[in-house]
Chains A and B, each alone.
Chain A
Amino acid sequence: MQKIRAYREAIRQAGQDGLSLRLRLFGFLFLFLNAIMLGVLVMLFATGVFQTGFREHRSLLQNELSHLSQAVYQNYGEISVRCVALAESLSSSLERRCREQGIRPSHLQDSPQLLEELLSGELSSLTGALEKAKSSGVFLVLDATVNPDLPDARFSRACLYLKNMEPNIVSGLDANLRYLIGPMKIARGRGIQTLPQWRMEMDISSAPYFSGTVGTARQEKLPTSRLYFWSPATVLPGGSERAMLCSAPLIASDGTVMGVCGFEVSEMLFKLAYAPDSDSHEQLFCMLSPEKEGQFHVSGALFAGRSATRPFAPDNGFLMIGQDPSAFSSYRQPEGELYAGLHREIMLYPKDSAYQGERWALALMMPRRVLAQHVSARTHALLLWLFLLMGLDILLSFVISRRYIRPVLVALESLKQPDLASASKTRIPEIDDLLEFLQSQDERGAPPPQQESAPLLRSSLYQEFTKNIGTLSAAERSVFDLYMKGYTAREIADVLCLSINTIKTHNRRIYSKLNVTSRKELMIYIQMMGEAKADI
């Protein structure tokens, strides 16, 4: 505390008396070190270190996106291929069965009593296909209904829909197979448990995976491999889970479209298969979404990531894609939160597909504010380090200035001593030289000013001095006498064959007894005695 007060006082005095050596040195050092630090800071800005956070996150997301989009492309591609193969196999099988029953594929609806048998005959093909595909469900929908007389018959189609409850687990498929849609008799005959949402037929009132695929197949004369369709994610009628369906038309040899078949990718499967590795980004999630005119149509998207981070109710429209200043893309839902991330187009169809215009993209994103928090946390850490460095500068300046100036101050103090010869070495050559110089000057003695000696001769101090000469010992007297004769201390030591230190000891006693404080004063008295021709 005292020191701080002293420094404060010194600074206050500096304005009046000029800056002390220590303060000057402290100031110079502080400016010097901080100038270096400022230079470093400018370099950091110039080299974009403060943007590194964004760059690192971008690189991380880029890698993750690359990995996930590759996985999605491969798995969805594989499902597409299996879907086409299943459609071709079922088409020929159904056509054969129709022929056996004596009906033409184009007249399927004329024999509703045969539908159950046709579906039942294909059950094994469907379970076999489901077992091989990384899919959560398989379906076969015939373009016919068991009861065309019902009021809603135009929206009802004979169907078999089986779900694999755990497509991600390698285990006996039978244990996890459930019956979602189809005649109950088939399920009971095969011992397959039904789901609570069981329906006898498929409701196609809002089913692009049926109507769209069948309609396109009837219009476009293309091979099945160019007619499969990935529907945007939807909840099946009566169900609760969202899923994407890949459907391919069942085309008989005469070109009749008998229905569709395909595979399902449920949201659970998508989540398990494509959840981003997000140990460092808890709120990162992945989204496979239809993309149209710079917007993600999230109502048809599937999400993967920790469930808490799913950003919005999927029923809510779309996300607008924009460019973020931080080199990420920005995604904003009208009146919703802003997200930042990256996306990449996923090719779900070959170039000459009937659906080549349909664009899908895989996006990795997180709330923009979360990304900003991640990045600013890093910048804050950097700034904190710079401030710490500045504190260290102040401390170093203080310590160095203090340590450097201390011997100078000591030397200056020693100059004030009566006997320069007794001043200790500073180990600073320049100061030691100065001390020696002053000491030699001291030893030679300086002529006292003439005008001052006359009054002094009459002074009581002079009287006292001459009186005290009598108190000197013999050894001291001999030294004093030689001083009187104009010898220096070294010469006296040589004459008396004594060491210089003994002479110094004698000097101290002589000063003490004669009541003088320095050699200079002693020489003045000796000179005065000479002038007065005093008889000693």
Chain B
Amino acid sequence: MFKRRKRAVCLALCLSLIAVLPGCGQKTGPDPKHPVTLEVWHNFGGQMQATMDGLVDTFNLTVGKEKGIVLNVTSVSGSAALQEKLTMIANGDPGAPEMPDLTTCYPATAVLLQEKDLLAPLDEQFTQEELSLYLPRFLEEGRLSDGKLYVFPFAKSTEVLFVNQTLFDRFASETGVTMNSLSTFEGIAKAALRYYEWTDAQTPDLPNDGKDFYTADSAFNLAQVGMRQMGGSLLKNESLDLSSPEFQRIWDAICEPAVKGGYALYDGYSSDLSKTGEIVCSTGSTAGILFYGTEITYPDNTTERVEYSVLPFPVFQGGQKIAIQRGSGIVAAKTTPEKERAAAIFLKWFTDPEQNMKFIASTGYLPVTNEAFENSMEQEIADNENIQKLFRTAVEVHAAYDFYIPPVFDGFNSLSSNYGKDLLTCLQRAREQYLALLETESPEDAYSRVSREALEAFRQQP
């Protein structure tokens, strides 16, 4: 009797072990019977949103269904607004929304979130072999102060020069300015001054109504990269260093056309100006390509079909070929192990070359895996002609340029935005002063004075 009971107990124990042991070897993950829902935020608008929505739907219906993961996009907003919301979350501001499970995020914002222990490190979810598929410099950008990978690259961008070829050809045929002049910032400054004069001369009865030629989407990026091209650095000890001779060159290249006319002083995206034909070229993110469109709308509602060219990022004369590497990544919130695992499954799927190329082919971003970058970029994968031009330039830049990755530290975002606002304010004031001085002084004297004063004023900004 006793023996029989002992045997039954042993059998029960063995069965329990058989039931329990298989779980020991597995990572905690989603279960198709009990799907996890991940809230997703992103900042892709327009065509990009349609592409992103399509990919999210595809994931939900395929891999998500199979593994028990449902992605639910609950916020689509502009990049700046999204970063602002994430900053509110990091700061615990009143009215701050709940942290989403997955969101696009810049490294500078991710630092704030990571300091509050709100982000999940992603290294643990990937094997070394899996990580080796990605371009190392993209992964490096996503590693924060503790060396762990928080900002996962899904698509990157660099800055290029967008040229409205239709308008430029019209200008070039009249003035003899060539496309070669657009390879340097000094050349762009000269062309801008010439364009302003040329357009001003078309309405002799209206003085100083020339048109702008160029603008930069990010004056801060231009300065950062320009300094690097000349071997200097805009940042010293996490603050601006505006006293170097290299910065003087940057200032000169911007200030003269900004004050005399030819450089658009605008607190918005250059594509807004391009759509109405108010500029000819601009430096901006490759991801902005779709915003330019294919036509110009004039104030009388007439439209003109135009062609764009995409050129590599200009270089300061004598400088090295360096372009910025930018673009947000995706961060995963620190939540449950199931959700973190589910987030990693999505990221693997989303950055797989097949999906990655679908995304970039309709957005203008650059892929993140070696395979996608090296094998797929030269194929005619994009329907959009502008994107095809962009990819050809991106491959050229990838081969010939070094890339500058902005540093990540607390306060970088505010430093960057303050630089742009202060520069705009100083240059707008200088422009007004210049136009006022033209009544009494020669253009050269007037410019010399306001330029000096504007630089001083800019250096003294808090």
Residues of A near any B CB (own CB < 8 A): 145-147, 150, 156, 165-166, 169-171, 175-176, 178, 183-185, 187-188, 191, 193-201, 239-241, 268, 272, 275, 282, 306-308, 310
Contacts and interface: CB of A to CB of B under 8 A. Distances in A.
Interface in B58-89: 60-61, 64-65, 70-78, 80-81, 84-85, 88
A195 B43 CA distance: 12
B299 interface: yes
A184 B275 contact: yes
Given A147-B300, A306-B37, A196 B291 contact: yes
Given A176-B77, A241-B49, 16 more contacts: A156-B301, A165-B81, A166-B77, A169-B85, A171-B85, A171-B95, A176-B78, A184-B299, A188-B272, A193-B78, A194-B268, A195-B46, A196-B291, A200-B301, A307-B57, A308-B71
A240 B64 CA distance: 24
B68 to A, nearest CB: 9
A306 B95 contact: no
Contacts of A195: 45-46
Contact of B47 (A194, A196, A275): A196
A183 B297 CA distance: 10
A184 B266 CA distance: 13
Contacts of A196: 45-47, 271, 290-291, 293
B76 A165 contact: yes
Contact of A183 (B73, B268, B299, B302): B299
A194 to B, nearest CB: 5
B303 to A, nearest CB: 9
A461 B228 CA distance: 131
Contacts of A308: 57, 60-61, 64-65, 70-71
10 contacts: A145-B301, A165-B77, A171-B95, A176-B81, A193-B268, A194-B268, A196-B291, A200-B297, A275-B72, A306-B37
A108 B97 CA distance: 45
Contacts of B131: none
A193 B269 contact: yes
A156 B65 CA distance: 45
Interface residues of B, number: 46
B406 interface: no
Q: Is the interface of B mostly helix, strand, loop or mixed?
A: mixed
Contact of B300 (A146, A197, A306): A146
A268 B50 CA distance: 12
B268 A191 contact: yes
A193 B272 contact: yes
A240 B77 CA distance: 15
A156 B72 CA distance: 37
A197 B76 CA distance: 15
B45 A306 contact: no
A165 B44 CA distance: 11
Closest 6 CB pairs of A and B: A308-B60, A196-B46, A240-B50, A147-B301, A196-B291, A165-B77
A197 B47 CA distance: 9
Contacts of A201: 301
Contact of A307 (B72, B97, B290, B302): B72
B275 A198 contact: yes
Contacts of B71: 307-308
A213 B70 CA distance: 40
A203 B215 CA distance: 31
A150 B61 contact: no
Which of A156, A199, A306 is the most central at the interface, judged by chain B CB atoms within 10 Å of its CB? A306
A475 B28 CA distance: 87
A240 B301 contact: no
Given A169-B97, A240-B46, A307 B301 contact: no
Interface string B278-312: 00000000000011010001011110000000000
B61 A175 contact: no
Nearest to B95: A170
Given A147-B302, A200-B301, A178 B78 contact: yes
Contacts of A156: 301
A231 B230 CA distance: 58
Contacts of A169: 75, 85, 97
B35 interface: yes
B267 interface: yes
A10 to B, nearest CB: 23
A171 B301 CA distance: 35
Given A150-B302, A307-B71, A240 B47 contact: yes
A268 B76 contact: yes
Contact of B74 (A194, A272, A310): A272
A330 B271 CA distance: 49
B56 interface: yes
B276 to A, nearest CB: 5
Contacts of B297: 184, 199-200
A306 B70 CA distance: 7
Contacts of A175: 80-81, 84
B53 interface: yes
A122 B65 CA distance: 48
Nearest to B72: A306
A200 to B, nearest CB: 5
A194 B65 CA distance: 37
B35 A282 contact: yes
Contacts of B293: 196
Contacts of B268: 188, 191, 193-194
Interface in B254-273: 266-269, 271-272
B267 A191 contact: yes
A150 B299 CA distance: 13
Contact of A194 (B56, B70, B88, B272): B272
A523 B80 CA distance: 119
A254 B271 CA distance: 43
Given A193-B272, A197-B46, A166 B75 contact: yes
A307 B95 contact: no
A260 B72 CA distance: 34
B77 A307 contact: no
Interface string B118-134: 00000000000000000
A275 B73 CA distance: 12
A193 to B, nearest CB: 6
A240 B301 CA distance: 22
A194 B292 CA distance: 12
